[in-house]
């Protein structure tokens, strides 16, 4: 568990924020590996003074170093800051803080006990809210198309389709401004890659906090959010295309969507396949979009090998993305930009692969969608 916590810190999207902060987090990680704990402690102290977008696992790593250096008050202070960001919001983490021998020096500290009690209360509240949401997504579901479109509750509804031998869940998010007598813009959103080790498809209640839903509310757009896992996931284009076609046919029966303003895209792996969709001659989608995705030259080549793009595609990417680097994306862009004018590329300076999950990234992405809608629907 100790190793897991360190790895979570080093790999967390939340460390990929302002460049100076990211450099300090990388330096602290190196110092920890070299067992230079006093140096790492100073680095964390310096980093936490620099900016506000800190990650909860940054504090988790820092408090362990503070304990190693005998700074128990500082460790408890950093734990408290981490809890404010969601540290200890699940049973596994709570058990870790309660039982791991690393915390034996503070386990009887009154303040530490109060923090653990706060964690436990937050977990119970989280479970309660999760249960409410799970009930709502079932009760919000519309059984099928009636004589005319019926009112749909604002928020989420859960549906399933059968694909081969699999039952695949998908969410439909209805924005506040939806009216059942007015056709509404629709976004298909393909999430990033998930573990192939999961035994079945799961609808995590935390999905409701995905930024795409806030963006949809702000732009009065319905969001269709299917779930995939591992292989074939979004990697198999034919499988992905069949899933989307089946889901779209169902959604059209239940919600009054504007068939002239439907868009498809996604994040990371979900965005990768979106480049392929933009090559189809016949598609129900007006345009496509990608967030933190990795294109390939082959995504833009026609049968004769000449780069072309059949339909518009809009991409947004962080320049400090370390998973799908901006340099690699630009190499592809520079090779095809002369042959096709249908690829619009936007960038943000920082935030890493998961920039969308930072407040500044969500704001940039909202503006990105507004630009796409204005350009396509003007």
Predicted confidence (pLDDT) at residue 197 exceeds the cutoff of 70: no
Name the more confident of 378 and 53: 378
Radius of gyration of the CA atoms of the chain, in A: 23
CA distances from 229 to 175, 212, 291, 334 (A): 26, 19, 19, 32
CA distance 309 to 119: 51
Asked if 150 and 187 count as a contact pair (C-beta separation under 8 A), the reply is: no
What is the chain's mean pLDDT, rounded? 86
Predicted confidence (pLDDT) at residue 145 exceeds the cutoff of 70: no
Predicted confidence (pLDDT) at residue 119 exceeds the cutoff of 80: yes
Mean pLDDT is lowest, of 112-126, 157-171, 193-207, 266-280, for: 193-207
Nearest to 203 by CA among 249, 264, 138: 138
Fold classification of 146-377 is: Rossmann fold (3.40.50)
Q: What is the pLDDT of residue 300?
A: 77
CA distance 201 to 195: 11
Residue 326 tokens read as 């901006």
Predicted confidence (pLDDT) at residue 4 exceeds the cutoff of 60: no
Predicted confidence (pLDDT) at residue 196 exceeds the cutoff of 60: no
CA distance 189 to 212: 8
Report pLDDT digits (tens) over 347-358. 999 889 999 998
CA distance 333 to 349: 18
Q: What is the mean pLDDT of residues 222-228?
A: 94
Report pLDDT digits (tens) over 56-93. 889 999 999 999 999 999 999 999 999 998 899 888 89
Percent of the chain predicted with pLDDT > 90: 63
Q: What is the pLDDT of residue 337?
A: 78
Q: What is the mean pLDDT of residues 161-188?
A: 92
Name the more confident of 237 and 366: 366
| Element (DSSP H or E) covering residue 110 | helix 110-139
Nearest to 57 by CA among 95, 10, 90, 94: 10
Confidence of residue 233 (pLDDT cuts 50, 70, 90): low
Q: What is the pLDDT of residue 336?
A: 82
What residues form DSSP beta bridges with 160? 169
Phi and psi at 260, nearest 5°, equal -90, -10
Asked if 142 and 152 count as a contact pair (C-beta separation under 8 A), the reply is: yes
Q: What is the pLDDT of residue 147?
A: 67
Q: What is the mean pLDDT of residues 8-34?
A: 67
CA distance 215 to 361: 11
CA distance 139 to 102: 45
What residues form DSSP beta bridges with 288? 264, 313
Q: What is the pLDDT of residue 85?
A: 87
CA distance 5 to 60: 7
Name the more confident of 171 and 309: 171
Asked if 230 and 194 count as a contact pair (C-beta separation under 8 A), the reply is: yes
Predicted confidence (pLDDT) at residue 5 exceeds the cutoff of 80: no
Q: What is the pLDDT of residue 43?
A: 92
Q: What is the mean pLDDT of residues 92-112?
A: 92
Phi/psi zone of residue 332: left (φ > 0), alpha (ψ -120 to 50 degrees), beta? alpha
Q: What is the pLDDT of residue 11?
A: 42
CA distance 63 to 220: 43
Confidence of residue 195 (pLDDT cuts 50, 70, 90): low
Query: Tokens 């992905």 correspond to what residue?
Result: 240
CA distance 351 to 132: 32
Q: What is the pLDDT of residue 194?
A: 66
- Residue 31 in 3-state DSSP? helix
CA distance 45 to 87: 19
Nearest to 259 by CA among 175, 186, 179: 186
Domain ranges of the chain: 2-128, 146-377
Nearest to 290 by CA among 245, 244, 356, 228: 356
Predicted confidence (pLDDT) at residue 310 exceeds the cutoff of 80: no
What is the crossing angle of helices 237-254 and 269-277, to 10°?
90
Residue 327 tokens read as 């340099």
CA distance 254 to 247: 11
Fold classification of 2-128 is: 1.25.40
């Amino acid at each position: 568990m100790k190793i897991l916590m360190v790895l979570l810190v080093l790999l967390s999207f939340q460390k990929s924020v302002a460049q100076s902060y990211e450099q300090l987090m990388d330096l602290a990680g190196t110092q920890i590996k070299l067992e230079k704990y006093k140096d790492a402690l100073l680095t964390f102290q310096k980093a936490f003074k620099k900016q506000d977008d800190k990650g909860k696992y940054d504090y988790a790593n820092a408090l362990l170093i503070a304990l190693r250096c005998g700074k128990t008050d500082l460790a408890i202070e950093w734990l408290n800051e981490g809890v404010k960001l969601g540290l200890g919001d699940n049973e596994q983490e709570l058990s870790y803080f309660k039982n791991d021998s690393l915390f034996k020096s503070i386990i009887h500290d009154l303040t530490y006990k109060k923090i653990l009690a706060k964690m436990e209360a937050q977990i119970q509240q989280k479970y309660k809210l999760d249960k409410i949401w799970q009930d709502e997504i079932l009760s919000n579901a519309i059984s099928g198309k009636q004589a005319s479109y019926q009112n749909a509750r604002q928020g989420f509804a859960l549906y399933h389709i059968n694909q081969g031998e699999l039952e695949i869940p998908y969410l439909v998010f209805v924005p506040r401004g939806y009216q059942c007598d007015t056709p509404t813009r629709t976004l298909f959103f393909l999430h990033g890659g998930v573990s192939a080790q999961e035994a079945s498809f799961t609808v995590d209640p935390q999905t409701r906090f995905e930024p795409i839903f806030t963006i949809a509310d702000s732009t009065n757009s319905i969001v269709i959010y299917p779930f995939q896992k591992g292989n074939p996931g979004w990697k198999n284009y034919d499988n992905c295309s069949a899933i989307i076609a089946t889901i779209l046919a169902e959604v059209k029966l239940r919600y009054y969507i504007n068939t002239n303003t439907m868009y498809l895209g996604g994040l990371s792996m979900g965005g990768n396949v979106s480049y392929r969709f933009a090559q189809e001659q016949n598609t129900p989608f007006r345009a496509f979009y990608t967030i933190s995705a990795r294109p390939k030259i082959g995504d833009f080549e026609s049968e004769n090998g000449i780069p072309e793009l059949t339909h518009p595609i809009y991409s947004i990417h962080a320049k400090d993305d370390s998973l799908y680097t901006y340099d690699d994306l630009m190499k592809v862009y520079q090779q095809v930009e002369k042959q096709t004018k249908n690829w619009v590329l936007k960038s943000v300076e920082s935030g890493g692969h998961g920039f969308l999950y930072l407040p500044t990234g969500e704001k940039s992405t909202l503006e990105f969608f507004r630009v796409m809608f204005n350009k396509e629907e003007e």
